[in-house]
């Protein structure tokens, strides 16, 4: 059994027991979260495709960790104009453990 969900503008293929890294979510470590945006659900040979989401399907998971990714350097410049900008960015993330797929 697996599902395709949407979280943070990205899509993930998950099954029970998976650990995934998603965009930052509200909540603290150890909290239980529910994701309602289930786009596709496959159980045995039965496939349910949502339009846009599968009704009455949700994912129950637990927040395992929260943190920041490696720094990405953003460097802008214009040649011959003495214009240079160097900035950094660290994207926040949440690691989820998928406990249950409810359909």
Q: pTM, whole model, 2 decimals?
A: 0.83
Q: How do residues 20-55 score in pLDDT, each as one tens digit?
A: 999 999 999 999 999 999 999 999 899 999 899 999
pLDDT surpassing 90 at residue 103:
no
Residue 36 is predicted with a pLDDT of 93
Q: Where are the domains positioned within the chain?
A: 2-66+95-102
Q: Which two tokens stand for residue 23?
A: 């965009």
């Amino acid at each position: 059994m697996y599902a395709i969900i949407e979280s943070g503008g990205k899509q993930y293929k998950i099954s029970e027991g998976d650990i995934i890294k998603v965009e930052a979510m509200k909540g603290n470590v150890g909290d239980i979260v529910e994701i309602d945006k289930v786009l596709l659900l496959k159980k045995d040979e039965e496939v349910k495709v949502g339009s846009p989401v599968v009704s009455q399907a949700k994912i129950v998971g637990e927040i395992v960790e929260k943190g920041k990714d490696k720094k990405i350097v953003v460097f802008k410049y214009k040649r011959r104009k003495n214009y240079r900008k160097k900035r950094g960015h660290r994207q926040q993330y949440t690691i989820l453990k998928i406990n249950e797929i409810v359909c």
